[in-house]
Structure formats: structure tokens, C-alpha cells
Amino acid sequence: MKRFLTLASVVVAALAASAALAAPSAAPTRTPGTLVVGFGDPAVGFAVGTVRGSTIKNPKGYEVDLSKAIAKQLGIGTINYIYTPWAKLFAPGTKDFDISFQEATITAARKKTVDFSTPYLNANQGVLISKKAAAPKSLSDLKQLQTCAQTDTTGLDYIQTRLHPAKKPLIYQTTTAAFTAVQIGRCEALVLDVPIVALQKKSKPAAYGPVAGQIVTKEQYGAVMQKGSKLKPMVNAAITKLTKNKTIAKLQKKWFNLNFAAIPTLK
């Protein structure tokens, strides 16, 4: 009997080991079984919710649905949404989120301090005009306007390193402040990602002039993670699968429903 029990124990142990090897490994999140997702300033169509302290309640948008789809792929059932200021997003050091979605363009400079996921959206820079300004027909026209941008954005970098406008650009810490400046006419032309300005204009059509054009920069958005994140391979695999099975395309159609390609190109 003793020998039989010993043999049975060996079989049970072998089956348990086999099951463990077959089961997917748990996602290496900050808290086991929970995905902490960071969002920044409200972005129409992307992520809008109620900020209470450091948490975000009832967020809605493309990036919110995308985070849920990724969590499902990772086998995670609980998601906590937190507010993460844009100005601190690319700072080196420990992050208080597992992954952050803030329409962040993947750049070599930013990769020095954070990790990015594989891209989940392509974008160019857009030009949102104040109702008090004449819409530019070319980049030469744009140079003559009072431009503005949000700090640490590729839009600001474009203005400063490539556009070289006649007037020094106004710089704002948040997208909300930048949109307000356009609305009151302090800023004549905001240079910011096409999807962001186009969706803002769609949500408040009477507040601004037109989205006068786009500047071809061929940027790609990636989710931000702490440098060296062990979660990155799993997130990349999830986004790749969601791209191939058309989930991402369906979410973009659901939340955007705009033909960004129809916006004229400024040259």
C-alpha cells in the first residue's frame, strides 16, 4: 500500500507540474491580478472621465476600451484608472502605473527614459485655428500666426525646430489650457496631433475656427511603461493580436468616426 501511495503521489505531482507549464504565466503587474492604467488630461474620443484626487472615475473613450481589451488578453479582471500629469510622463524613475495611454508619440528621446508598446494609432500634426484668425493655406501662412502648443509635445518640437514662426510660440502645460487659449483668441493656431484637435473641434464646433490643415509627420502612438518593464512583451503581443483581429479598427471607428485623411495638408 505504501508503495502504491508513493507512486500515486509521483503521478499527481507530475500532472500538477504539467498543468503549471501549460497555464499562461501571470502578467507581472504592480499588484497581482490588477492593471493600473494612467491617463492624463481629458482627450475627447480617447479618454474622458471624472478625476477625483489621483483616480479617474468612469472613464470612456478609445484608449479606455483598448486598455480593457488588453487587460482581457492578459487575463486580468481588475483595472484601476489613475491620473498622470503629462509633464511627468517621461520623467525617469518608478511609475505609479503599469501602463499609460496619453496619445504619446514614440520618439527616440522618450525611449531613453520609458518603454513604449507597439503602436496603436498613426497620426500627423494638426492646426486648430482661432475664430479670430485667418486660416493658413500654407506653412508660410502659418509662420505669420501666433502659434501655441502643449509643453513637451511633438507639436511644440515641430514649431521650434522646423516651422520657426515669426512670433515665439505660447507654451501651455495642459491641452485644456491650450484649447482655452485658442477659444479666446490668445493663440491663433494650435499645433497638436490631428486626432486630438479634430475630435475637440467636433465636440465644440462653435468654440473654434477650422482645423485648417495637417502637417505630415508620420507619428505613431504607443502606450507608456516604466523603463525595463517586464509587462512590455505581453502588452505588445496583445496589441498585435487586437490589430490582426480588427478590434482596434472597430474601436477607432466607434470613438472617432472622422476621416482624418480628408483634412488638407499644409506645405
- Tell me the C-alpha distance between 130 and 207, whole Å: 8
pLDDT score of 25: 63
* Span 165-185, pLDDT tens digits: 999 999 999 999 999 999 999
Q: Find the largest Cα–Cα distance for the chain.
A: 93
pLDDT tens-digit map of 96-120: 999 999 999 999 999 999 999 999 9
Q: What is the pLDDT of residues 123-166, one digit of tens each?
A: 999 999 999 999 999 999 999 999 999 999 999 999 999 999 99
Name the 3-class secondary structure at 112: helix
Instruction: Render pLDDT for 229-241 as a digit per residue (tens, 0 to 9).
Output: 999 999 999 999 9
pLDDT for 231 equals 97
pLDDT at 176: 95
Amino acid letter, residue 32: P
Angle between helices 232-244 and 62-74 (to 10 degrees): 110
User: What does the DSSP assignment read for 48-98?
Assistant: EEEEETTEEEEEESHHHHHHHHHHHHHT--EEEEEE--HHHHT-SS--SSS
Supply 141's cell numbers.
501662412
Closest C-alpha among 125, 116, 123, 128 to residue 157: 125
Mean pLDDT of 18-37: 74
- Give Cα 170 to chain centroid, integer Å: 23
Rounded to whole angstroms, the Cα distance separating 191 from 33 reads: 40
Indicate the pTM of the whole model.
Answer: 0.87
